[in-house]
Each structure stands twice: as C-alpha cells, then as structure tokens.
Amino acid sequence: DTEVTQTPKHLVMGMTNKKSLKCEQHMGHRAMYWYKQKAKKPPELMFVYSYEKLSINESVPSRFSPECPNSSLLNLHLHALQPEDSALYLCASSTWTGRGYRAVGEAFFGQGTRLTVV
Amino acid sequence: AQTVTQSQPEMSVQEAETVTLSCTYDTSESDYYLFWYKQPPSRQMILVIRQEAYKQQNATENRFSVNFQKAAKSFSLKISDSQLGDAAMYFCAYRSGGLFGNEKLTFGTGTRLTIIP
C-alpha cells in the first residue's frame, strides 16, 4: 500500500467555521507533511511532523493548527480562515526519520483537499 | 537556503517525440536528493524519478531519464516517446541529505507540458 489518503476532497467553509482536514498513511512512514498549493504555483511547505513531533513550522498563522495523533494520522484544524486561504492542501509522507538518519525517501502525496473559504 | 529554478513555464511536444525539461538549483551542500514530480489535472503529485547527489550515474525509469550535472547544478528530465498521459505540470524538487531539521522539500515553479496528438 503506497497510498496517502486525504479527506475530504472538497471543502467549503465560512470564515467563522471550524473544520479539519485529515490525512492517513499505512506505509510506516515517520515523517508527515502539510503543503499549501495555490493555482499554478508550486506547493509551499506548512508543517513537518517527525516521529509524531512537530519539527518544522514555516511561520504558518495560528488559524492553522496541525495535529499528529499517531504515526499514521495527520490532521489540520482550521479556524477563522480568510478567503486568501483558499487553496489545495496536500498531505505527504516519507521515510525520512529526522533522528540522525540520512534522508532516504521521496515524499508520497495524497490527492489533496480543495478548500474554499467564503 | 536552497533554490530550485525551472526556466520553462510551458513546453509542448508531439506525441511519440522526445522532450527535455530543464531544472537548475543552488546549494552549498554536497549531500542531497533531487526529484521530478508530475502533477496531472487530477492534482495528485506523482514521483517520476529521483537522483541521489552522491551517485554519478544518471537515473532512469522506463521512458524517463535525467541528465544530472552536479558541478553545473543542473538536473534536466528527458521524456522519450511522449504519450498523451504525460501531459501535466512537472516540478523539480530538492531535498537536503543532512541530519534532523532538513526534511524540507523545495520545489521549482513548474513546467506545464502539453502533448500534441
């Protein structure tokens, strides 16, 4: 199984809503990522979790709150978003361990959640 | 900080022909990984090919091959016998091979490839 599964595929939310994006993988990867991608742009890294600990936060606004409950699951909690936050949100995982080990694996991506903030 | 540059925003090729997508990068590291990802309209980023910087041999995956020039910091992708299913946005990406805290995958701006039937 080389799949990263993201739910939902599409999400429309108001600026006062609270919603969550979910990402799941069963490849035994211990690094998981959230990327944001605007139309016709490359993905931009938001967060990295390594061994269920947050290892990178790319200065993302606090209205985005990541959570890694276990090694297979990654959530992104959304609250009080702005219309400019509308984008494709991609989850990825890799075999990179981040604990003194060399980066050994490519990142596997999910299909993304298309988020629209109204 | 590492940067990845793709100077061709759009490319087109006739079906069954060969096309080369360019990528250059800037880094002071000696240990790193380079990737080409494909993103079709379905949105999913799909790994096309990977190259470890310490390997001199160019990577090949079926119709896809790279020309890795480490000294020139160049990493181009050649697609042979182009097929309609190859139409997509192609991203070149860099990842450090270093220790903890270097998990970041840095992407170029992408090249949109169109296949002409």
pLDDT of residue B80: 97
> What is the pLDDT averaged over residues B20-24?
98
Put simply, the answer to whether A48 touches B45 (Cβ < 8 Å) is: no
pLDDT of residue B104: 79
- What is the three-state SS of chain B? CCEEECCCCEEEEECCCCEEECCEEECCCCCEEEEEEEECCCCCCEEEEEEECCCCCCCEECCEEEEEECCCCEEEEEECCCCHHHCEEEEEEEEECCCCCCCCEEECCCEEEEEEC
> What is the pLDDT averaged over residues A98-118?
78
Put simply, the answer to whether A42 touches B100 (Cβ < 8 Å) is: no
B48 chain-A contacts, CB cut-off 8 A: none
Structure tokens at B102: 């270097």
Whether the CB-CB separation of B35 and B92 falls below 8 Å is answered with yes
Whether the CB-CB separation of A49 and A96 falls below 8 Å is answered with no
- Residues A26-46: tens digit of each pLDDT: 988 888 999 999 998 999 999
Put simply, the answer to whether B103 touches A100 (Cβ < 8 Å) is: no
For residue A82, give how far its alpha carbon lies from the nearest alpha carbon of chain B (Å).
23
pLDDT, chain B, mean: 92
Instruction: Assign B25 a pLDDT band (cuts: 50, 70, 90).
Output: very high
Residue A9 at interface with chain B, using a CB cutoff of 8 Å:
no
ω into A8 cis (within 30 of 0): yes
- Residues B77-96: tens digit of each pLDDT: 999 999 999 999 999 999 88
State the best of A33, A102, A108 to mutate against chain B, taking most chain B CBs within 10 Å: A102
> What is the pLDDT averaged over residues A100-117?
80
B47 chain-A contacts, CB cut-off 8 A: 106-108
pLDDT of residue A101: 52
Residue B56 at interface with chain A, using a CB cutoff of 8 Å:
no
> What is the pLDDT averaged over residues B71-76?
96
> What is the pLDDT averaged over residues B92-108?
79
Instruction: Assign B117 a pLDDT band (cuts: 50, 70, 90).
Output: very high
pLDDT of residue A63: 96
Q: Look at strands B46-52 and A113-117 and give their pairing.
A: unpaired
